[in-house]
Amino acid sequence: MEPQNNNTLWWALGGVAVAAVVVYLFLGTDIFKGRPTGVETPEGLVAATGTSPISAAGIVVTTGGAPVVQNVEPGTEGAPQQSIPISEDDIPVQAIPLRVSAAGFSPSTFTVDAGRAVTLALTVDDDESHLFVFEDPSLSAVVSGVGPGMTRIISFNAPSTPGSYAFRCGVPGHAARGETGVMIVE
């Protein structure tokens, strides 16, 4: 190759590299992952429509801005709210994807940071309905009910006490056939 052609090649490569950096800086990484992060509201980031917001401090709050209460009846005011059914394409990047079917949860174990907001994306892989619940009474309000082929999001606050927190499917008979798992809080 002529030296002059070499120079042209390097300039072209350099141009492509600069363009890639500009796209990365101005559009962020999400464009590469092709997934949303949610919607900013005055109270914080809502991972998917209907889900409780995550404040700037990284805590899941109510639409009134108070920290969610996690040992109450699911769905009540103050409890973490689950999203409307969403497409799997709309699972936000920060969510932990969890699939459930008669075969169990996949993955059946996931790890989170103590006291920090957690966003779960629960997808049903079969033609049944499933109900994500924790065993620990301190997390009784963290419940996500998902129908056949459906995906829902729920944001909640990980316990501040590290340890293993068991979860299961709350539909009668489902835990007994293996729909169980453990959230590890570090």
Which residues of the chain form contacts with Cu ion (CB under 5 A)? 130, 169, 171, 174, 179
Verify cis geometry, omega within 30 degrees of 0, for the bond prior to 74.
no
Of the two residues 93 and 102, which places its CB atom closer to Cu ion in the complex? 102
Shortest Cβ 51–Cu ion spacing (Å): 21
If the CB atoms of residues 46 and 169 are measured against Cu ion, the closer one turns out to be 169
Nearer to Cu ion, 70 or 168 (CB): 168
**Residue nearer to Cu ion on the CB measure, 45 or 174:** 174
Question: Least distance to Cu ion from the beta carbon of 48, Å?
Answer: 21
Nearer to Cu ion, 59 or 102 (CB): 102
Taking the complex as a whole, the smallest distance from the CB of residue 179 to Cu ion amounts, in Å, to: 5
DSSP structure string for the chain: --HHHHHHHHHHHHHHHHHHHHHHHHH-SHHHHT----EEETTEEESSTTSPPB-TTS-BB-TTSSBP--SS-TTSTTSPPBPPPB-GGG--TTSEEEEEETTEEESSEEEE-TTSEEEEEEEE-SSS-EEEEESSGGGTT--EEE-TT-EEEEEEEPPSS-EEEEEEE-STTTTTTT-EEEEEE-
CB of 119 to Cu ion, least distance (A): 21
CB of 55 to Cu ion, least distance (A): 32
Cα 124 to Cα 117: distance, rounded to the nearest angstrom: 23
